[in-house]
């Protein structure tokens, strides 16, 4: 199995604690509410939301995919870090075994934050992932993050 790793940083004007709450702790209910075309709903198969929890994310009608199974690998509310893996689903296709994400929200001096995300695509055998597939993943993550950020700006008490 091979691995392809890339890092992404997304700046935000939202405070680190608030964006962490939205993109990690409340994401299962927040995204279906603000982007139903992307994610229809999230179903917990086992666990309580903490480490080891297995979720099925059902994509909305605007997606080319049906669903993915997501496992929470680590979560640290004090240090604003979260790790999870996509372990099943049509998004993995024929060449990807799993995708692991490590997210850290870092406060900035101006009261905002930076979302630092490492994505690790674990391939089957010697399979190669196209740049287009990686770009697609980066873009969908950016769109979702910015939609959550816009929602928080429009709903400061959320």
Average model confidence (pLDDT) across the chain = 94
pLDDT for res 16: 98
pLDDT for res 29: 95
pLDDT for res 46: 97
pLDDT for res 100: 97
pLDDT greater than 90 at residue 2:
no
39, 60 Cβ separation under 8 angstroms: yes
Q: pLDDT tens digits, residue range 30-89?
A: 999 999 999 999 999 999 999 999 999 999 997 889 999 999 999 999 999 999 999 999
Confidence at 133, pLDDT banded by 50, 70, 90 = confident
Average pLDDT over residues 106-123: 96
3-state secondary structure of 153: helix
Q: Which residues neighbour 61 within 8 Å (Cβ) at sequence distance 6 or greater?
A: 37, 40
pTM for this entry: 0.92
pLDDT for res 112: 98
- Cα–Cα distance between 64 and 6 in angstroms, integer? 23
pLDDT for res 41: 96
pLDDT for res 1: 72
């Amino acid at each position: 199995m091979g691995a392809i790793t890339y890092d992404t940083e997304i700046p935000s004007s939202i405070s680190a604690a608030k964006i962490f709450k939205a993109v990690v702790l409340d994401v299962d209910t927040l995204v279906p509410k603000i982007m139903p075309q992307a994610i229809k709903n999230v179903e917990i198969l086992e666990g309580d939301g903490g480490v080891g929890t297995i979720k099925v994310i059902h994509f909305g009608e605007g997606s080319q995919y049906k669903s993915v199974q997501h496992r929470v690998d680590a979560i640290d509310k004090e240090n604003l870090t979260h790790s999870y893996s996509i372990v099943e689903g049509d998004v993995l296709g024929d060449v990807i075994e799993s995708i692991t994400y490590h997210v850290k929200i870092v406060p900035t001096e101006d009261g905002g934050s930076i979302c630092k995300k490492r994505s690790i695509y674990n391939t089957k055998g010697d399979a190669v992932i196209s740049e287009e597939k990686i770009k697609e993943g980066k873009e969908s993550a950016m769109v979702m993050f910015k939609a959550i950020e816009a929602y928080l700006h429009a709903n400061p008490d959320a």
